[in-house]
């Protein structure tokens, strides 16, 4: 029996633990396996996140992420893959002995309905003392369903549900959201036999306060999946009601003092103190009770309830219009047809003075630029092949387009006439593939926006996402055949960015 095909996807922000992981994978992975490392660091980086020459036995593919969080990074990684399975690993884990053999056995045992096979996570804790609050927090990964520290997902299942939802900007709940959507789509979750080690990473003493930002993601989960989402993913209930109550008591005490109501201020303040002390002890009791740990637990227990409450309210506000369904999945690049889509269609136009943008074009393009998404033009210009336009005239039109609509990262032109039977003229895939290559992204990470069926067909042929923006020239059959249709460019950008995001 042939071994299952899979790629390994590792999103990273450049932690030193990535090198340790790649060292371990170099010892256990077969040469046929590709390791896709998604560099999700912020800023324009001149040096790669790792020097691939250190691991000559690993087939490492470095992919540049958009620094938009782990959901977006994982999307960029799995879209680069063409294998049956995609194995997601965090950049701070280490495979145990026999991990590869057990992984391939786990994948073989999966049925046609298996969408995900999860590895078992082992968090080593200190043997000679009780764990700290942070160590207990990390140990919560043990037995956590859908944790992507080691998760193999069938690529067709990812395609079916749209991948990870990029409305989840942190490494928190984006995996549970994907799990619920996979189950809803009819895919099964299975536990594998392989084991991944997840050491407790270093963290500042106030880490528990910063982690409260995840409450915003809990609000989004409730909006998208209903109030029982925790039970369905096996997540603990959490302490938010306690945090909200303690915060309310503290705020009430301050307000009472401000209006001069001393008895109320004293009573509410005492209740706040009792609630805060109980919270602190609940965190101190199971721990090592060292001076440093006790001091950190007292200080963070004061800040933790208001932080949790603030992020929960922020998440409720952000999620108020969020819609459930397919994941919001932003492309890395958007390629536009020119005539009829960005500018009014003037047949064989060689005069820059006649270039007229369609309504809303500049606003739509600027929204994509602001989101960090590359934009380009893919245009058939058969007038060149027919002798009715010169290449210089077309270049002059493009200079005028950029004057009116702003810069484009690539301008791909097919100069051939239809009878030339070239590989670049839409509806062939050539222009889309050319533009994607120039931008350094996979065609599957691109969207193509156009006004006629040949634009849609070119996108499909290249493996990109097509969006049709019909005009008077669009035939009804082309509209019926398009999977996604937008009434105008701004509505098309809503689809691409996610109107709720």
Going by C-alpha positions, the residue among 305, 252, 311 that lies closest to residue 283 is 305
- Whether 22 shows a pLDDT value over 70: the answer reads yes
- Whether 369 shows a pLDDT value over 70: the answer reads yes
Task: Give the chain's mean pLDDT.
Answer: 92
Query: Does residue 336 contact residue 377 with C-beta atoms inside 8 Å?
Result: yes
Could you tell me what percent of the chain has a pLDDT over 90? 78
Work out the pLDDT band at 448, boundaries 50, 70, 90.
Answer: very high
150 is catalytic: no
Structure tokens at 239: 């302490």
Q: Of residues 92, 150, 337, 451, which has the active-site annotation?
A: 337
Q: Which class would CATH give 333-497?
A: alpha beta
- Whether 389 shows a pLDDT value over 60: the answer reads yes
| pLDDT score of 501 | 46
Query: Does residue 166 contact residue 212 with C-beta atoms inside 8 Å?
Result: no
Q: pLDDT by residue (tens digit) across 458-489?
A: 998 888 889 999 999 999 999 988 878 999 99
| pLDDT score of 324 | 65
Distant-in-sequence, close-in-space partners of 59: CB < 8 Å, separation ≥ 6? 31, 32, 33, 34, 35
Specify the pTM.
0.73
Mean pLDDT of the 222-244 span: 90
Distant-in-sequence, close-in-space partners of 368: CB < 8 Å, separation ≥ 6? 334, 375, 493, 496, 497
| pLDDT score of 481 | 84
What CATH homologous superfamily does 6-202 map to? Spore Coat Polysaccharide Biosynthesis Protein SpsA; Chain A (3.90.550.10)
| pLDDT score of 45 | 67
Which is higher by pLDDT, 499 or 56?
56
Q: Of residues 339, 366, 494, 500, which has the active-site annotation?
A: 339
What are the strands, taking DSSP E only, across 158-295? 188-197
Domain parsing of the chain, residue ranges? 6-202, 204-325, 333-497
Q: pLDDT by residue (tens digit) across 323-352?
A: 665 566 678 899 999 999 999 999 999 999
500 is catalytic: no
Mean pLDDT of the 145-165 span: 92
């Amino acid at each position: 029996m042939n071994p299952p095909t899979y790629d390994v996807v590792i999103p990273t922000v450049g932690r030193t633990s990535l090198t340790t992981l790649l060292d371990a994978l170099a010892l256990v992975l077969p040469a046929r396996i590709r390791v896709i490392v998604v560099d999700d660091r912020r800023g324009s980086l001149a040096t790669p996140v790792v020097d691939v020459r250190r691991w000559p036995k690993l087939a490492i593919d470095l992919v540049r992420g958009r620094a938009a969080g782990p959901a977006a990074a994982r999307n960029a990684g799995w879209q680069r893959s063409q294998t049956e399975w995609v194995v997601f690993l965090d950049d701070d884990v280490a495979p145990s002995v026999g991990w590869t053999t057990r992984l391939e056995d786990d994948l073989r045992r999966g049925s046609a309905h298996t969408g995900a096979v999860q590895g078992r996570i082992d968090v080593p804790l200190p043997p000679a003392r009780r764990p700290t609050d942070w160590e207990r927090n990390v140990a919560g990964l043990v037995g956590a369903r859908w944790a992507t520290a080691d998760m193999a997902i069938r690529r067709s299942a990812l395609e079916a549900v749209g991948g990870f939802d990029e409305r989840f900007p942190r490494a928190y709940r984006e995996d549970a959201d994907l799990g619920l959507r996979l189950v809803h789509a009819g895919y099964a979750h299975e536990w594998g036999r392989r084991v991944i080690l997840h050491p407790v990473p270093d963290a500042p003493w106030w880490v528990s306060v910063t982690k409260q930002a995840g409450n915003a993601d809990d609000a989004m989960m409730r909006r998208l999946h209903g109030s029982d989402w925790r039970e369905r993913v096996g997540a603990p209930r959490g302490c938010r009601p306690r945090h909200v109550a303690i915060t309310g008591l503290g705020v009430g005490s301050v307000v009472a003092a401000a209006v001069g109501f001393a008895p109320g201020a004293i009573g509410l303040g005492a209740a706040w103190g009792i609630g805060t002390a109980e919270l602190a002890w609940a965190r101190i009791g199971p721990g090592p009770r060292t001076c440093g740990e006790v001091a950190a637990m007292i200080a963070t227990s004061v800040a933790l309830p208001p932080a949790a409450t603030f992020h929960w309210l922020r998440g409720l506000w952000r999620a108020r219009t969020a819609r459930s369904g397919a994941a919001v999945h932003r492309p890395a690049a958007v390629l536009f047809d020119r005539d009829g889509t960005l500018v009014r269609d003037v047949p064989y136009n060689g005069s820059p003075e006649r270039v007229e943008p369609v309504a809303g074009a500049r606003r739509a393009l600027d929204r994509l630029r602001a989101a960090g998404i590359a934009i380009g033009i893919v245009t058939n210009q058969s007038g060149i092949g027919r002798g009715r336009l010169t290449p210089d005239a077309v270049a002059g039109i493009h200079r005028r387009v950029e004057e009116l609509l702003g810069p484009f990262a690539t301008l791909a032109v097919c100069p051939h006439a239809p009878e030339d039977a070239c590989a670049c003229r839409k509806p062939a895939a050539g222009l889309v593939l050319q533009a994607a290559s120039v931008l350094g992204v996979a065609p599957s990470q691109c969207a193509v926006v156009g006004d006629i069926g040949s634009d849609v067909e070119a996108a499909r042929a290249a493996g990109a996402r097509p969006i049709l923006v019909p005009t008077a020239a669009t035939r009804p059959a082309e509209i019926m055949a398009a999977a996604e249709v937008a009434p105008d460019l701004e509505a098309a950008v809503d689809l691409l960015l996610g109107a709720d995001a």
